Amino acid sequence: MNAGSGRLELGRLRVPGRLARAGIDEVLVFRVPLRHRFRRIDVRDGLLLHGPHGWGECSPFWDYDVTESAAWLHAGLEAATAPLPAPLRDEIPVNVTIPVVGPPEAAGLVAASGGCTTAKVKVADPRSTLAEDCARVEAVRQALGPEGRIRVDANAAWTVDEAVAALTELDAAAGGLEYAEQPCPTVPELARVRARVDVPIAADESVRRAEDPLAVARAGAADVIVVKVQPLGGVLRALDVVEQAGLDAVVSSALDTSIGISVAATLAGCLPELNHACGLATVELFDGDVTDHPVLPAGGVIPVTRATVETPVGDAAAPPGRLAERWAERLDALCGELR
């Protein structure tokens, strides 16, 4: 088994008529295990769409309803069937993502990150106490050295008071945080936290899962916005959000395969300014990939290039029938949401 396929399962689906008319000539379903439990899942699965401009990805998580997931299909269609803007840069600095692991493993992930000098550390997970989060951050600081940047991601887990208390401790453990990503669920809460702490605040869920992704900027609730191609409905839509928000932007992964990561790298390459490393080194969290040439960091950067699916990818097996059936049913429902 080659390095590209790992434990990947990959198979073809029927192309719905709506997608065929849009220019899609192939639809694949994939499933690949994760090396560490992440976002409370152990396996990543989704769809890959091929069209005249290459491959796109549509991999909404299963807890997303059809209406929210339709943006993900739009992003995959755009990538496969439309020309994307020409990038302004040919490589993107990226951060290593540290899931909820012990300090020795966290330090090891930094060492094995392909030269990343920025780390995003997951915190506020039900499996981890604040003391354990601080120990993980301290280990990452030791591994990165004093010049490295550390950001933490709480995935909207805290109240305002909890966020203020936790960020004070985490900032001390890090010797200074670059920013804290989505410490609280709502825009007003983010604004209150931002007013009470010295740590810069980044908004993720309040952008990608919001009916109004610009509300956080209008409220002065964040210093940085995190943009993700699939949840925002494509590269063009994400560029529009960044322009209107007028804030520093970080392009991040939606836990995509190399297909989605390469499209996200194109978005990052098109930003007028890029002042922070992007969260696009997450393919290393997968035990395999849908290409024999995974988009992985080297020297702390990834290239701005479009990934392709080699068919078949190594010796990947077809997914079990029920998984393919579920995605076929979901795809039909998503096609009904297209406008």
- Over residues 13-22, the pLDDT tens digits come to 999 999 999 9
Summarize the confidence of residues 37-60 as an average pLDDT. 94
Classified as helix, coil or strand, 39 is coil
Which residue positions form the known binding site for Mg(2+)? Answer: 153, 181, 204
User: How many Å apart are CA 152 and CA 124, to the nearest integer?
Assistant: 9
Supply the CATH classification number for the domain 9-84+311-335. 3.30.390.10
The predicted pLDDT at position 268 comes to 98
Structure tokens that stand for 63 in this block: 């807890």
User: How many Å apart are CA 142 and CA 171, to the nearest integer?
Assistant: 14
Summarize the confidence of residues 304-308 as an average pLDDT. 97
From residue 200, give the alpha-carbon distance in Å to each of 41, 125, 151, 251, 276. Answer: 29, 21, 10, 17, 13
Bridge partners, residue 9, by sequence: 31, 317
Structure tokens that stand for 155 in this block: 């995935």
Read off φ and ψ for residue 45, nearest 5 degrees.
-145, 160
Catalytic residues: 122, 228
Structure tokens that stand for 61 in this block: 């998580």
Residues of the chain within CATH 3.20.20.120 domain(s) are 91-303
User: How many Å apart are CA 211 and CA 233, to the nearest integer?
Assistant: 12
Q: Is 228 exposed, middle or buried (0-12, 13-18, 19+ CB in 10 A)?
A: buried
Summarize the confidence of residues 257-282 as an average pLDDT. 97
Residue type, 195: A
DSSP 218: H
Which H or E run contains 73? helix 66-81
Residues of the chain within CATH 3.30.390.10 domain(s) are 9-84+311-335
Residue type, 238: A
pLDDT over 50 at 212, yes or no:
yes
Summarize the confidence of residues 181-194 as an average pLDDT. 98
pLDDT over 60 at 248, yes or no:
yes
Q: Is 52 exposed, middle or buried (0-12, 13-18, 19+ CB in 10 A)?
A: exposed
Residue type, 300: G
Which pLDDT band, with edges at 50, 70 and 90, does 1 fall under?
very low
CATH class name, domain 91-303:
alpha beta
Bridge partners, residue 47, by sequence: 29, 58
From residue 8, give the alpha-carbon distance in Å to each of 59, 308, 312. Answer: 15, 15, 11
